[in-house]
Amino acid sequence: RRFDFRPKTDPYCQARYTFCPTGSAIPLMKEEDVIEVYRLQAPVWEFKYGDLLGHLKIMHDAVGFKSTLTGKNYTMEWYELFQLGNCTFPHLRPGMDAPFWCNQGAACFYEGIDDAHWKANGTLVLVTTISGTMFNEMAQWVKYDNETGIYYETWTVQASPDKKSTVWFDSYECSKFILRTYQKLADLGAVFKKIQTNYTSIILFSGEPIYLGNETSIFGPQGNKTLAAAIRDFYNPFKPHQSVREFFVDLFKIIDHVILNHQFYLFYNLEYWFLPMKSPYLKIIYEEVPLPVGSKASSDV
């Protein structure tokens, strides 16, 4: 779903790590430039934990560019403004009935490619070359995409592990932005190399979701107090933990909700849904998504 504008961030929402600290505007390239496009992938939080999450195939994706006219490198990625936890679960604030969400994602563009970061435990590989004209058209699309696709969504929700199963909800995170970027470049005429490309997905397994309503209809003056209490009770164990004991108590509550009682409350595009969970409940997959083949006919913004 696309939105008309990006809302202002609330001062309550604070990130432990600053979003896009060295970000810059996307430059205008000369039409005759030839620009190399690189696939970049590394374990999530590689800067802090090295390849630890890489063993679980929890990867972060980005795209790199190199201008052959200037020799300058650039990195473009899409990630959470307030870190993953805040995008995935809300805060339960005193005096507020509705869960409070610190959830936005956005594109970040900056000069340079940190070769060591991407090569050490991940991937840095050339996937195509494009003209300066194509790069500039892509930049216009990035602006549109960034202004209208604003919420980060961690979960993919499927009916079963079968590859052809119904996808109830699709995730909207870093890899999806890279896939959209590749597709835009293909539609503009880029020809991609024949190489294998894999991406991480975190999947919940559920029967057909049940629509519950939005914040006003559930938590407002005329809302459903029983449902509001159930949603708050569900999200409470996901709060940041102060002690090991508190963590294990809340972990048991999560297992009780999700696995023993088959319950999950999903907040997606500003609406709440009930997921009747089923085995295997959650799975992290690292599956191949081929590089795209484009069509000039579908290159509209």
What is the average per-residue pLDDT within 253-267? 94
**Domain presence at residue 144:** yes
Structural domain span for residue 147: 34-156+169-198
User: Pick the residue with more confidence: 84 or 125?
Assistant: 125
3-class secondary-structure state, position 102: coil
Predicted pLDDT at 300: 43
- Does residue 295 carry a pLDDT above 70? no
- CA–CA separation, 57 vs 35, rounded Å? 30
Separation CA 128–CA 197 (nearest Å)? 13
- Say which residue, 298 or 70, is predicted with more confidence: 70
Q: Is residue 27 part of a domain?
A: no
Least confident of 5-19, 198-212, 264-278: 5-19
Q: Which of 226-230, 262-266, 284-288 has the lowest mean pLDDT?
A: 284-288
| Domain membership flag for residue 297 | no
User: pTM score, two decimals?
Assistant: 0.90
pLDDT digits (tens, 9 = 90+) for 122-136: 899 999 999 999 999
pLDDT beyond 90 at 173: yes
Residue 164 belongs to a domain: no
- Does 13 reside within a domain? no
User: Which residues does the annotation mark as catalytic?
Assistant: 60, 174
As a residue count, the chain comes to: 301
Domain count, the chain: 1
pLDDT at residue 167 greater than cutoff 80: yes
Q: Which residue has the tokens 């679960």?
A: 89
Neighbours of 244 (CB within 10 A): 8
The Cα 95–Cα 172 span in angstroms is 31
- Is residue 117 one of the residues assigned to a domain? yes
Residue 17 lies in a domain: no
